[in-house]
Amino acid sequence: MVTTYLIGTGGWTYFPLKPTLKAYSKVFNFVEVNSTFYKIPDAQTVQTWRRSVPSDFTFTVRCHQSLTHKIGLIPVDDAYAVFSQMIDLCRVLNAPFLHLETPERYTFDREEVKVTRDFFSTVDFKGTSLAWEIRSSLSDKLVNLMRDFNIVHSTDLSREQPALASDTLYTRLFGKGRHNIYQFTDDELIELDQKTLKAEAKTAIASFHGIRMNNDALQLKKYKETGRFPVVKRFGVASAKTVLSEDARFPSSKEELIEDQGWKVIDLTRSKRIHLSEWLAKIPEKTYRNLEEAVKELEASLQQIHKQS
């Protein structure tokens, strides 16, 4: 049974209106520090982060790419130095997890698993746990290694289940689009929540990384707090027009609109949200010269999309 449910995003710099950690922490109870993957901050900066948030706010830290993408998880001085720096950051932030992400080219054959085991056997975790996102295939030997060191298998739960059970479920959510170009519907968020609860972990960490990550995280947070999603005032054609007005380019074919805009979520009714692609699929096959022409066809197909949703 999940007793601790942490919901947030990968970093706070994209937080709307006021992109500060203090403002972010008034909305969410958790953040995955994304910037540490690219640059290791100084101690004073990290201490400022910790002082900026409530005492019960939770950080996790992404491991710097020099270890996971350049040096490798191998028992050499450079690897030990980076790992030790990252663990120290976690301790300052009181972060329970250091998150590792290894790229697809890091295949972990028999010898690499052995070397990685040697590395983990000779580092000092100092009470910090590891969550590991492995973007290559998983062998039984690698899963056994993770089990032996109590490493949490981090996955995108919208795409993949963890390879082994753990007291903590750690999911980094990009969605089913290209890269991070995706937005979750309410039904998809409910499905994610159900998968989380079925995992029977004590702690669930949901870190959103899609292009609409703040909105997605807030929707899930409100659902967990109230058991329902917010009711909107603008819906139907008005919602579709607003979404298309953001950055849709014209002239565009139906196929181009679906590819460029279909990942977005619109409010079909006051309480029903769908991907715009579902609605765009119902309009005629032709090139649309402007926004008004596309909206007119969307309005004509509204009854059909209502019947199928």
Interval 67-91 mean pLDDT: 98
Q: What is the pLDDT of residue 179?
A: 87
Q: What is the mean pLDDT of the chain?
A: 95
> Residues 249-268: pLDDT tens digits?
999 999 999 999 999 999 99
More reliable by pLDDT, 49 or 271:
49
Interval 289-307 mean pLDDT: 89
Least confident interval from 6-10, 169-173, 186-190, 228-232: 228-232
Does residue 307 surpass a pLDDT of 80? no
pTM over 0.85: yes
Whole-number percent of the chain with pLDDT over 70: 99
Interval 18-32 mean pLDDT: 96
Q: What is the pLDDT of residue 224?
A: 96
Does residue 309 surpass a pLDDT of 70? no
Does residue 231 surpass a pLDDT of 90? no
User: Residue type at 196?
Assistant: T
Q: What is the pLDDT of residue 305?
A: 77
CATH 3.40.720.10 is the classification of domain 4-226: no
Interval 203-220 mean pLDDT: 97
Interval 129-136 mean pLDDT: 97
DSSP string of the chain, one letter each residue: ---EEEEEEE-STT-SSS--HHHHHTT-SEEEE-GGGT-PPPHHHHHHHHHTS-TT-EEEEEPPHIIIIII-SSSSHHHHHHHHHHHHHHHHHT-SEEEEEE-TT----HHHHHHHHHHHHTS--TT-EEEEEE-SPPPHHHHHHHHHTT-EE-B-TTT---SS--SEEEEEE--SSBTTB----HHHHHHHHHHHHHTT-SEEEEEE-STTHHHHHHHHHHHHHHSSPPPPSS-THHHHHHHHHHH--SSEEHHHHHHHHTTSEEESSSS-EEEHHHHHTTS-SSEE-SHHHHHHHHHHTHHHHHHH-
Q: What is the pLDDT of residue 200?
A: 83
The secondary structure of 40-92, three-state, reads: CCCHHHHHHHHHCCCCCCEEEEECCHHHHHHHCCCCCHHHHHHHHHHHHHHHH
Q: Domain ranges in the chain?
A: 4-226, 237-308
Does residue 187 surpass a pLDDT of 70? yes
